[in-house]
A and B are shown apart, each in its own frame.
Chain A
Amino acid sequence: MSFLELSGVQKHYGPVAALAGVDLSVMRGSRTAIVGPSGCGKTTLLRLIAGFEAPDQGRIVLDGEVLANGGAAVPAYRRGIGVVAQDGALFPHLTIADNIGFGVVRGADKRTEHIVELAYIVGLDKAILKRRPHELSGGQQQRVALARAMAMKPRLMLLDEPFSALDTGLRASMRKAVAELLEAAGITTILVTHDQAEALSFASQVAVMRDGLFSQVGTPRELYFQPKDRMIAEFLGDAIILPARIADGFATSPLGRIAVDTTERRDVARIMLRPEQVLLKRTSREGMSGTPEMLFGEVTESEFAGSMCTIAVRLLNSPDPPDAAAIGNTPLILRKPGMDAPALGEIVRLTVSGMAHVFA
């Protein structure tokens, strides 16, 4: 039974369709990430769920209550949905304590204790409560924004790229902390981001958005290993895409015979591998002889970048590719640990682990 249900939600700004009919269903207590390039409509969707704007068409139902139906919409202040904006949107004229307590009725029982408790939960020092937003660092501001949104015990929490203003190290730890925090509080959460790694690591359900539509919705694993099309595959990470002839659960490709994730297909199609599925083993030109079924390549480029090293491998004895010979000659770009990555000119033996994904 889904907690939040969007069906056919559309929103136009003049002639531009920001959302062209979006369907989504979110389970109670789950975490969903909406990911897409900037301008794809993800923030618009968030604003419609929050109630800052009304959809042109479609329904938004939260916990059985219709929030928006066509043009009619419940205003934001009656929805009880928490929002944490990109830069926190703290009230600059109020202290941190007043910011956190903003949504709590003034004079409410134990208001101060409640504020202190919330500050503790999000990991803010008590001394900070008397300060003003501009005296806080970016990470602290985000915590205050989170505490402020949690203070009113929201049914649903919307996070609009809340980590994008933070630096890399802080971003990862904040993301983990926030995920655990919301999980512990049992709050259903929707995160909007343009960072695919953030989306994959944060959520139990990821929706990829493009041009105002969801192109695929699923678990992070599904999306990463079984993307619907090339665009999604490349948006979520590096991908090796090869032409192949499929039969009996195997593909014959420039990388040899590879198991695929379907047994029904029997045709020529494109398959996708993640670069980390291609394993390399150092060898030499002498080692190549006499083993025709093995696949060898030569390292043509090597770019050292600390922990990781990007290398290009040109296949030396690729079996005949089914159609495009040109593809066989394009080197494979792989990222390997920098410590013992093969050097320029070295000969490597290639093997593929796991299954390749067949595009429709």
Chain B
Amino acid sequence: MQSAVDLSRPGLPAGLKAGHGTRRRSLSWILIAATLVSLLALLPLAFIVWVAVQTGWETASALVFRPRVGELLVNTVLLVAMAVPISIVLSVTLAWLTERSDLPGARLWAWLSVAPLAIPAFVHSYAWVSLVPGLHGLWAGVLVSVLAYFPFLYLPIAAALRRLDPALEDAAAALGLGPWRVFARVVLPQLRLAICGGSLLVGLHLLAEYGLYVFIRFDTFTTAIVDQFQSTFNGPAANMLAAVLVTCCFVLLALEVLVRGEERYARVGSGAARQQQRTRLGRVTLACLALPAITALLSLGVPFVTIGRWLIAGGTDVWRLDEIGLALGQTLFLAVGGALLATIAAMPMAWVSIRAPGPLQRLLEGCNYIVGSLPGVVIALALVTITVRIAMPLYQTLFTILFAYALMFLPRALISLRASIAQAPVELERAASSLGRPPLRALWSTTIRLSAPGAAAGMALVALGITNELTATQMLAPNGTRTLAMAFWSYSGEIDYASAAPYAFIMVAMSLPLTWLLYVQSKRMAGR
């Protein structure tokens, strides 16, 4: 054991900080732009605080501490507390089956586990209610929520599973751990980030969802706020409910930060990971096939069968082409406009967070994510109040609705842009500078060009969100606007399910390619 002595060497410092002094000037312009966007994004939040202050403690507490609010809180908490864990278990199982076992048709099942995202949540609900008219209450809410939103968990978990280095599992096996213990002690901990992120996304969607719960007559904060808004416009009651809802969102965000922790899950070491081996299912193959099959049947079969049935029942009469064409045109216009605005607004923030990270930048970025996690109804309510009280000419204009979309969907654009900017090496920017381009042009000709695919993907995701958006559009869009979602909503509200069917069909048909894009992107992120 003599060698122990020569073996010990002082540890190297973990990493050297790279200087960022060279591009101060262009950086400061971009930083100002990023700050401006973040401040604008904080507008709805500032509004909530302002309203709370203005309402005064007595009125506010009278509005907040009442049985109705408690009831809504119980409903919402129960919904999240049941739907999220069920989605986690379902998604982890599906992801393992499709990524790490020799399940027949794994690729097909993987795609079918993502496809439910193409169906707006309120269309899921519409399908279930017209199939089982008696469906309502908490359990119905949990069922439809899980079916509509579990892909948000499935996608990151499947991607993380694919990225896992099989050498770790080999190492654990060599250290004497059986397959189940390897899964519990090595695989599952490494999925933690994916599970946390996905759960947060599902939780926030549950808090924000409106249409889904109206169909099955389950009251949450969001449905209550919209009801309140429809009866008393932007009265203090609605605003106070919104404040409680925002608090719920913050609780979820804080929970996620707490559970996620500071751990690192990236692969340590260099070189390419070797190909993963798939577990042989053997005799249990058939039993294992049942899970993805039943999930696909409930999450895709039910909506498609219902829409198909109503389309057949309605015949050609429901295809009022002028009306549908108009709605389609308006939806596309809003979707493209909102996507462009959100992407342009996200650009400076994305660049700053990758190229010049720091505490201020992280704070700014955090603002954008927090606002993006607020329910559409809260942002809409804030913008309604602000425009009515301060800038009346802007009330229910194209500007306001696009602004709201940009606020709501900025994080989607930001995440895609960040990922692709991170992949564009900074050396290229420097090379362009050394070849004589001034900083901003160097940036344009290298990083921004290279991040174009990421920007496009981000825009597609924003457009997808806008196409299926209902509450904010209803509250903010100029008079006479009738998007696909609004038309669907008003027909189904009149129980004219047949007339609503073509709109549901078009929304799904438009969303499917975008969902496919999402699926392909997640595969590519995992390096395949």
Contact = CB atoms under 8 A, between A and B. Distances in A.
A179 B386 CA distance: 74
A188 to B, nearest CB: 15
Contact of A89 (B165, B176, B178): B165
A79 B182 CA distance: 15
Given A89-B168, A134-B268, A176 B3 contact: yes
A323 to B, nearest CB: 47
Contact of B264 (A87, A132, A140, A148): A132
Given A51-B173, A92-B190, A120 B4 contact: yes
Interface stretch (A28-36, A123-131, A263-271): A123-131
B66 interface: no
B168 A148 contact: no
Interface string A83-109: 101111111111000000011000000
Interface string B166-191: 01101111111111001001100110
A85 B175 contact: no
B188 to A, nearest CB: 10
A135 interface: yes
Most A CB within 10 A of own CB, among B165, B173, B175: B175
A220 interface: no
Given A92-B190, A93-B265, A83 B170 contact: yes
Interface in A30-80: 47, 50-53, 75-80
A141 B14 CA distance: 13
A347 to B, nearest CB: 46
Nearest to B266: A92
Contact of A93 (B167, B170, B182, B192): B192
Interface string B1-25: 1111111110110100000000000
A125 to B, nearest CB: 6
Contacts of B178: 75, 77
A177 interface: yes
Given A122-B4, A177-B7, A88 B174 contact: no
Interface in B261-293: 263-271, 277
Nearest to B189: A93
A165 B267 CA distance: 15
Interface residues of B, number: 41
Given A81-B174, A87-B270, A123 B190 contact: no
Among the interface residues A51, A173, A177, which one has the most CB atoms of the partner chain B within 10 A? A177
A181 interface: yes
A124 B269 CA distance: 18
B190 to A, nearest CB: 6
Nearest to B15: A135
B470 to A, nearest CB: 40
A133 B11 CA distance: 12
A83 B1 CA distance: 21
Nearest to A50: B174
Given A91-B186, A93-B263, A103 B176 contact: yes
B7 A122 contact: yes
Nearest to A133: B268
B250 to A, nearest CB: 27
A264 B266 CA distance: 62
A52 B170 contact: yes
Contacts of B14: 135
Contacts of B182: 77
Interface in A139-183: 139-141, 143, 145, 148-149, 151-152, 165, 173-174, 176-177, 180-181
B173 A121 contact: no
Contacts of A326: none
A231 interface: no
Contacts of B177: 77, 103
A86 B271 contact: yes
Interface of A: 47, 50-53, 75-83, 85-94, 102-103, 120-125, 128, 132-141, 143, 145, 148-149, 151-152, 165, 173-174, 176-177, 180-181, 184
Given A50-B170, A77-B182, A180-B3, 8 more contacts: A52-B173, A77-B174, A85-B170, A87-B167, A92-B266, A92-B267, A93-B265, A123-B7
- Top 10 nearest A-B pairs (CB, nearest first) are A123-B7, A87-B269, A103-B175, A76-B173, A89-B167, A83-B174, A123-B8, A177-B3, A180-B3, A89-B171
